[in-house]
Amino acid sequence: MRLDLTGRIALVTGSTQGIGAEIAAGLARSGARVAVNGRGADSVGRAVERLRSEVDGADVVGVAADLGTGEGAERVLAELPRVDILVNNLGIFGAKPALEITDEDWRRYFEVNVLAAVRLTRAYLPGMTERGWGRIQYIASDSAVVIPAEMIHYGVSKTALLAVSRGFAKEAAGTGVTVNAVIAGPTHTGGVEEFVYQLVDRDLPWAEAQREFMRLHRPQSLLQRLIEPEEIANMVVYLSSDQASATTGAAVRVDGGYVDSIVP
């Protein structure tokens, strides 16, 4: 199966590192023109150069903007008025006892993890439907289904993304635009390494710390290891392609069997 995205313009939010960077690379390898996004111009510039060095002939641009704000969204829209593939990857997470999560924490997680994606969907979906083709994806999490006790505010924000995805898929019904959520399981990124060490002994070597984290905090994983970012990216690239034209309104799992369900 050859996934050819030549001629498509893709925006991947929060894509200077981790899962977002791998998604941007996967889309670029398939021929899409990719916009890399992050809050700072320096980090965006480094990510663009890294992607160009990793992917021969990559057509990539950088868009520096804080999409957790309305002003940031306006800046992206001004620089990138047309998008064919929108991957809402931007998200924040962190452990905090449930009773210590403040109103400010709740608002921040909603603004960054949910409303940032809603704003961009609202802005780009009309153009996609007018052209009769588009792909919108939300990078959700197993935490949307299995709410983690150590960060329920994060889990709730990802649950909201599943509902947002399904709702906008209905709005796009019959237009040639697909809207899906990707339920990513526990994934190996720099941020997750720091999170793991919040929960296990910091003196442990990484290989042991990962095993201890999975044993104590994610024991239902059938993969029994952290997922690598490119494994998430592979699904995103497929859902961005013509071959995935019949998949919409779905919550597609790349979770290593973490969610204990026989229904996707």
Q: Which residues carry out catalysis?
A: 154
Q: What angle do CA 239, 241, 243 make, to 5 degrees?
A: 90
**CB-based contacts of 16: which residues, under 8 Å, 6+ apart?**
36, 37, 38, 43, 44, 46, 47
**CB-based contacts of 221: which residues, under 8 Å, 6+ apart?**
185, 186, 214, 256, 257, 258
Q: What is the DSSP string of 110-151?
A: HIIIIIHHHHHHHHHHHHHHHHT-EEEEEEEEGGGTS--TT-
To which residue do tokens 């663009």 refer?
A: 48
To which residue do tokens 């399904």 refer?
A: 166
Q: Tell me, what DSSP letter sits at residue 33?
A: E
Radius of gyration of the chain (CA): 18
